Structure 1
Amino acid sequence: MPTQLSEAELGRLDAIICSTRLVRRGETLYRTGDAFKSIYAVRTGCFKTVIAHRDGQEQVTGFHIAGEPLGLDGVCSDEQNCDAVALEDSKVCVIPFDLLEELCHDIKAMQQHVHRMMSGEIVRESGLMMMLGTMTAEQRLATFLMNLSSRMKARGYSAAEFNLRMTREEIGSYLGLKLETVSRMFSKLQKQRIVDTNGKQIRIIDSERLAEV
């Protein structure tokens, strides 16, 4: 949330957060086609968003960690456009969108912040399209790790060492790569001493070389 809010404005914001919801690992926060009523702030844990194709295959469209919003894709059509699935036991703050709109009308800083969040979603989508269309497999994985590192740092976590809550297969689905390719690229980066992997734990050894991949 914006840091420049007064105590009274923060109080109004707290008042519209109607509940905190626990979502167990593997459970769905919302599904494609659900009526859009609220946006969610990930308080703890991690989610993936997925779109199911007609043949039953799933396409991962994003990963969302603590401190990030969920559900903004429903604003345009008044219904959710993907499934949001918890990758671990997670908690979200539920924010009714109609009450948030009223708050944005009264508090300009809040309105600007919501606009920035929506703009961030557009930038993320365009970045994904560019990555899938122009980058090699190694570049895709390197970009994914650098992006996750910067998001961890922005939220007060270590930028160099963190756990991947998603599987290699889910990473592959997001990056448009086969599981075998993702595993091979991780092994390549490890042999080059750019990253070190131990199960789901990742340690970025040389961030400059990772950025140059």
Structure 2
Amino acid sequence: MSLIELKALAGQRSCDECVLHPMCKPALVGIEDIERLSGAVLARRPMGKDAVLFRAGEPMRSVFVAQSGGFKTVAINEAGDEQVIGFYFPGELIGLEGLRDGRFSTDAVALESAQVCEVPLPALERVATQRLEFQRQMMKALGEGMARHQDHLELLGRKQAQERLAMFLHGLCERQQRLGRDPSRLHLPMSRSDIGSYLSLVIETVSRGLSKLQDEGVISVKGRQLEVLEPERLASIAHGEEGDGERCAGRR
């Protein structure tokens, strides 16, 4: 069997950055495992901008990972107001919070055109029990999800809007680095309004904050593309200690 045929069986199409790659990648899974798991990862599902991946209250039967495109998770209160809870990028698992009680607690919405892989829970559990490496990868993904939630709470506790915005961008840098990508170049699929909702700031404050960071030479923004020009300065603003920050690209 050729490598191309093995990749087709495992559903692997340039998925090195995906958290599920120990389950799909032929280099890490033996032929007998591929034959056993070939039906586990469903074909990529194309999704348009604003398409809903899952809704709050739905039973959790699968987890998802974007192969391309970004997603946001949104909570809706009794008054019908939306609050962005998190953002997800290619290679990150979406929906793990449903493991708590078997139901999704938020809506997951595509921020742009996306391709999504779906893995049924029984397949996920089977592979986790059979392959220690995949089990470790899943534990890491759970830990990172918990850390992002804690970071969000810490971010909302900051009084200064500029600190919140800098901390948000700094966190995206670190996530880029963990995914093996250039931490100084960010693609922001979310709108300024989404960022404001996530940071509990009005959109005007977000726009002013980005403009201020750009005017000071900390970042460069062109539409949805953002480049961090001074990572140490961004880190110091994020931590409220100008001049003594850590290099964004160097933290792990």
Does the Cα contact within 8 Å between 1:5 and 1:109 map onto a contact in 2?
no
Closer, same or farther in 2 for the Cα pair 1:6/1:163, shift >3 Å? Answer: closer
How many Å apart are 1:45 and its aligned residue? 0.5
- The alignment covers a number of residue pairs equal to 213
- Tell me the secondary structure at the aligned position of residue 196 of structure 1: strand
> Which residue in the other structure is 1:83 paired with?
107
Which one-letter code corresponds to 2:162 in the other structure? E
The one of 141, 163, 166 equivalent to 2:190 is: 166
Alpha-carbon separation, structure 2, partners of 1:192 and 1:65: 28
Deviates more, 1:111-120 or 1:45-54: 111-120
> Which residue in the other structure is 1:141 paired with?
165
The one of 114, 119, 124 equivalent to 1:100 is: 124
- Tell me the secondary structure at the aligned position of residue 19 of structure 1: coil
What do the CA deviations read for 1:58-101 (whole angstroms, capped 9, x no partner)? 10011101111101011111111100000111011110011111
What percentage of aligned pairs have identical amino acids? 34
Closer, same or farther in 2 for the Cα pair 1:42/1:13, shift >3 Å? Answer: farther
> Which residue in the other structure is 1:31 paired with?
55
Deviates more, 1:56-65 or 1:109-118: 109-118
Closer, same or farther in 2 for the Cα pair 1:195/1:111, shift >3 Å? Answer: same
> Which residue in the other structure is 1:131 paired with?
155
What TM-score do the two structures reach when normalised by structure 2? 0.79
> Which residue in the other structure is 2:214 paired with?
190
Higher relative contact order (CA closer than 8 Å, sequence separation 6+): 1
Deviates more, 1:38-47 or 1:105-114: 105-114
- Tell me the secondary structure at the aligned position of residue 165 of structure 2: helix
Which one-letter code corresponds to 1:191 in the other structure? D
Gap regions ≥5 residues in structure 1: none
- For the pair shown, the structure with the greater C-alpha radius of gyration is 2
- Tell me the secondary structure at the aligned position of residue 39 of structure 1: strand
The one of 50, 68, 72 equivalent to 2:74 is: 50
- Report which of the two has the higher share of strand: 1
What TM-score do the two structures reach when normalised by structure 1? 0.92
> Which residue in the other structure is 2:226 paired with?
202
Are residues 1:5 and 2:5 paired?
no
Closer, same or farther in 2 for the Cα pair 1:109/1:156, shift >3 Å? Answer: closer
Task: Provide the alpha-carbon RMSD of the alignment.
Answer: 1.8
